Amino acid sequence: MDRILIRGGRRLNGKLPISGAKNAALTLMPCGLLTDEPLTLRNLPRLADVDGFGHLLNQLGASTTIEGSRPEDFGRVMTIRAGQLTSTEAPYDIVRKMRASILVLGPILARAGQARVSLPGGCAIGNRPIDLHLKALEAIGADLEMSAGYVTATAPGGRLSGGRYRFPVVSVGATENVVMAAVTASGSSRIENAAREPEIVDLCRCLVAMGARIDGIGTETLEIEGVAELHGATYAVMPDRIEAGSYACAAAVTGGEVELTNVDVASMGATLTALREAGVGIEERRDSIVVTSDGQLRPLTLTTAPYPGFATDMQAQFMAMLCKAAGASVLTETIFENRYMHVPELARMGADIQVRGRTAVVKGVDRLVGAPVMATDLRASMSLIIAGLVAEGETSVARVYHLDRGYERLEEKLSAVGADIERDGGG
Ligand code: EPZ
């Protein structure tokens, strides 16, 4: 089982390239199912979840070919060809390993008029229901039947009708599923209280490039006029705002000066505001951000919220950074019910964190001490890396397969800006 070893205490200096966004890639890839023409995605990150999704597309009968990228390049070019689907089912053994597989439900239903997808089940951060995905699909004409841990969706007459749905709470995945299903419906659809994350904007822009008709992109109300069919396109995946924010937290806490390159600056508003509030120097350039820090940080009060609020996917990384702030910070997690799995591991490195319900009080300490720790979920594992970079001595992070799901070539990127970090096959 791979683990990552870090010897902390080094300042970070230099340029760090940001990859394509995992959470955009995982909703752009299923768009290839919506047309019998090729969809080419550029700047695709080299991640386990992207590879896993590619295997799922292959199971459904789509080919996925990686073209024109050298091993040393960050980002890949993938062309998805779904001339015809050979299956309309996403099986349990795939969906349980990668929850984002649920995002094939809408596209398969739209393309084939029927779909059978395993319920994803929960994960480390929460039970992650899909009731909103199902209610939204019903609202645009799907007939649904649940049995034996699967949902079977059918479009009467083979084509969804379109319709109107107002989300009771914001859901990124459910918004993505219903948008992908609605673009080839026979009528129009109006989606209210839709998620506005930049990854949703990326999805809508890609669908429009494929011939979809969507108004209100980037707002909470999406108006979709169904079209008979979509055509192929070439589309570049947006830069990963969470990866960029994660490395910014690392540079902030170690001290130093790091330029994050290939960044979508506009998508990082709440993260950059919080970093500046903590006393970190942030210089915004056209497609890069320069993070400058002396390692002295002010405490913060942060509450996670749907975009454009402070991202839940940044909570663990900020917590690790704030373990070294001069004072007490208060973090409140409003999106997921169990997203503090990193707390006991950080405590083993000397952090002083008290969790009460959804709120964590992080009292800054003078020093963190390296220790063997264990990753539990993707962003929690990044918080342990950040803590290890500033801790005295050696930190070994086990179960790094969690990290490989969302951070492309992490140790290579961090080594290049001066971190003493390596991957160790043992452990
Ligand atoms: C997406 O998950 C992201 N994953 C998550 O990133 C991210 O944390 C989350 O959005 C919130 O921004 C991908 O894009 C692949 P939600 P998703 O539906 O779509 C509840 C990472 O670290 N809910 O917006 O699953 C749900 O339980 C991952 O990169 C329902 O109740 O998130 C949660 O409490 C982690 N019923 C809240 O809504 C539903 O049908 C928000 O979930 C769906 C969701």
Domain stops at, among 236, 254, 269: 236
Identify residue 111 by its one-letter amino acid code.
Answer: R
Question: Is the CB of residue 144 less than 8 Å from the CB of residue 70?
Answer: no
Domain stops at, among 217, 236, 255: 236
With CA atoms as reference, report the closest residue to 331 among 345, 317, 351, 344. 317
Question: Is the CB of residue 101 less than 8 Å from the CB of residue 94?
Answer: yes
**Domains identified in the chain, total number:** 2
pLDDT at 125: 78
- Percentage of residues of the chain with pLDDT beyond 90: 90
**286 and 259 fall within a common domain:** yes
Torsion of CA 44, 67, 184, 169, to 10 degrees: -10
Distance, CA 172 to ligand 1 centroid (Å)?
6
Question: Is the CB of residue 168 less than 8 Å from the CB of residue 192?
Answer: no
pLDDT at 2: 85
pLDDT at 268: 98
Q: How confident is the model at residue 244 (pLDDT cuts 50, 70, 90)?
A: very high
Residue nearest to atom 4 of ligand 1 (CA): 23
Domain stops at, among 236, 264, 282: 236
Distance, CA 173 to ligand 1 centroid (Å)?
6
Does 427 score more than 60 pLDDT? no
**217 and 265 fall within a common domain:** no
**Which CATH number covers residue 272?**
3.65.10.10
For the annotated catalytic residues, the residue numbers are: 123
Question: Which ligand 1 atom minimizes the distance to the CA of 377?
Answer: 22
**15 and 109 fall within a common domain:** no
DSSP 332-381: E--S-TT--THHHHHHHTT-EEEEETTEEEEE--S--B--EEE--SHHHH
CB under 6 Å to ligand 1: residues? 22-23, 26, 100, 126, 128-133, 169, 171-174, 312-313, 335-336, 378-379, 406
Range of the domain at 194: 22-236
Q: Which of 172, 237, 246 to mutate to test the pocket of ligand 1 (most atoms within 8 A of CB)?
A: 172
Q: How confident is the model at residue 224 (pLDDT cuts 50, 70, 90)?
A: very high
With CA atoms as reference, report the closest residue to 16 among 420, 412, 426, 297. 412
> Which residues carry a binding-site annotation for UDP-N-acetyl-alpha-D-glucosamine?
99, 128-132, 313, 335
Distance, CA 368 to ligand 1 centroid (Å)?
31
Question: Which ligand 1 atom minimizes the distance to the CA of 133?
Answer: 40
Q: Which DSSP state fits 396?
A: E
Report residue 142 as tokens: 């799907």
Match 């809508």 to its residue by tokens: 204
Cα separation values, 41 from 33, 163, 182, 275, Å: 13, 30, 21, 32
**120 and 245 fall within a common domain:** no
Residue nearest to atom 19 of ligand 1 (CA): 173
**343 and 370 fall within a common domain:** yes
pLDDT at 302: 98
**42 and 99 fall within a common domain:** yes
**263 and 293 fall within a common domain:** yes
Distance, CA 170 to ligand 1 centroid (Å)?
9
- Percentage of residues of the chain with pLDDT beyond 70: 98
Has this prediction a pTM greater than 0.95? yes
**160 and 75 fall within a common domain:** yes
Residue nearest to atom 27 of ligand 1 (CA): 128
pLDDT at 426: 60
Q: How confident is the model at residue 338 (pLDDT cuts 50, 70, 90)?
A: confident
Distance, CA 306 to ligand 1 centroid (Å)?
10
**231 and 283 fall within a common domain:** no
**193 and 295 fall within a common domain:** no
Residue nearest to atom 35 of ligand 1 (CA): 313
What does the pLDDT look like over 149-174, one tens digit per residue? Answer: 999 999 999 999 999 999 999 999 99
Least confident residue range of 89-98, 214-223, 301-310: 89-98
**26 and 175 fall within a common domain:** yes
Does 361 score more than 70 pLDDT? yes
**357 and 224 fall within a common domain:** no
Q: What span, in angstroms and rounded, lies between the C-alpha atoms of 327 and 80?
A: 50
